[in-house]
């Protein structure tokens, strides 16, 4: 049973996976109900807390979250970011996000057609995935499989997603992602 409040505690580390980052923006998107939170900011200890109970009510009505909902947890600071998927269960969630140079939040004029080139370089012995989500609704837009110890690139068109842009989620830290927008 899911309880309310349902706080998510973010701990954000810099690229060394140890140094706490003050001033990182954190953000949650309920991809099941197509709602998102306002951003919070990490304190001097690299910690921020966002409560799923504060998500807006979905356009279709109902609760802001429920057991089984898929939540995107995002942290962004300077040109670095990290994202992870969380399935709602229980009463709270503690999540550590280690910043990398993973691109997120490419804003644009809503509805404008853009071309995105995404490259996923896998440094591990097994295949890993990279997924691209709409930053406002959490809708899965695309995914790329990076073969073991190899690189895979894709290019595709998309319509600009407004100020929320999109969110790139790596399946593991062994995959390095670069994105260019034209």
Q: Is residue 106 part of a domain?
A: no
User: Do residues 48 and 12 touch, judged by C-beta distance below 8 A?
Assistant: yes
Span 123-171, pLDDT tens digits: 888 888 888 777 667 777 777 888 888 887 877 666 555 445 667 777 7
Question: What pLDDT, on the 0 to 100 scale, is given for residue 37?
Answer: 78
92 and 21 part of one domain = yes
Identify the weakest region by mean pLDDT among 1-10, 25-34, 110-119, 142-151: 110-119
Question: What pLDDT, on the 0 to 100 scale, is given for residue 112?
Answer: 58
124 and 154 part of one domain = yes
Total count of domains within the chain: 2
Question: What pLDDT, on the 0 to 100 scale, is given for residue 111?
Answer: 54
Question: What pLDDT, on the 0 to 100 scale, is given for residue 100?
Answer: 63
Span 81-105, pLDDT tens digits: 788 888 888 777 877 766 665 555 4
76 and 130 part of one domain = no
Where a domain ends, among 55, 74, 98? 98
Reply yes or no on whether the pLDDT at 5 is more than 80.
Answer: yes
The mean per-residue pLDDT over the stretch 53-61 comes to 84
**Which residues have CB under 8 Å from 24's CB, separation 6+?**
12, 41, 42, 46, 48, 75, 76, 77, 99
Q: Which residue, chain included where needed, has tokens 């951003």?
A: 39
16 and 74 part of one domain = yes
**Which residues have CB under 8 Å from 162's CB, separation 6+?**
107, 108, 109, 110, 136
Q: What is the residue range of 17's domain?
A: 7-98
User: Cα–Cα distance between 162 and 85 in angstroms, integer?
Assistant: 22
Write down the mean pLDDT value for the chain. 78
76 and 21 part of one domain = yes
Q: Is residue 174 part of a domain?
A: yes
Q: Is residue 122 part of a domain?
A: yes
78 and 149 part of one domain = no
Question: What pLDDT, on the 0 to 100 scale, is given for residue 97?
Answer: 65
61 and 17 part of one domain = yes
Q: Is residue 2 part of a domain?
A: no
Task: Look at 151 and 49; give whichever has higher pLDDT.
Answer: 49
Where a domain ends, among 74, 98, 122? 98
List the one residue out of 7, 13, 39 whose CA is nearest residue 25: 39
CATH number at residue 79: 2.60.40.10
User: Cα–Cα distance between 153 and 71 in angstroms, integer?
Assistant: 26
82 and 118 part of one domain = no
26 and 57 part of one domain = yes
94 and 118 part of one domain = no
């Amino acid at each position: 049973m899911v309880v309310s409040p349902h706080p998510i505690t973010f701990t954000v580390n810099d690229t060394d996976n140890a140094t706490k980052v003050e001033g990182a923006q954190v953000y949650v998107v309920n991809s099941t109900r197509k709602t998102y939170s306002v951003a919070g900011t990490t304190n001097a200890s690299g910690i921020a807390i966002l409560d799923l109970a504060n998500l807006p009510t979905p356009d279709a009505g109902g609760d802001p979250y429920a057991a089984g909902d898929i939540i995107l947890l995002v942290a962004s600071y300077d040109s670095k970011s990290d994202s992870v998927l969380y399935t709602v269960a229980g009463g709270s969630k503690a999540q550590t996000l280690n910043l990398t140079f993973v691109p997120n939040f490419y804003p644009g004029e809503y509805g404008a057609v853009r071309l995105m080139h995404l490259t996923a370089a896998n440094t591990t012995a097994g295949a890993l995935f990279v997924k691209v989500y709409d930053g406002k609704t959490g809708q899965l837009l695309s995914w790329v499989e990076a073969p073991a110890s190899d690189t895979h690139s894709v290019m595709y068109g998309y319509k600009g997603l407004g100020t929320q842009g999109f969110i790139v989620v790596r399946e593991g830290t062994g995959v390095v992602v670069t994105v260019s927008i034209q």
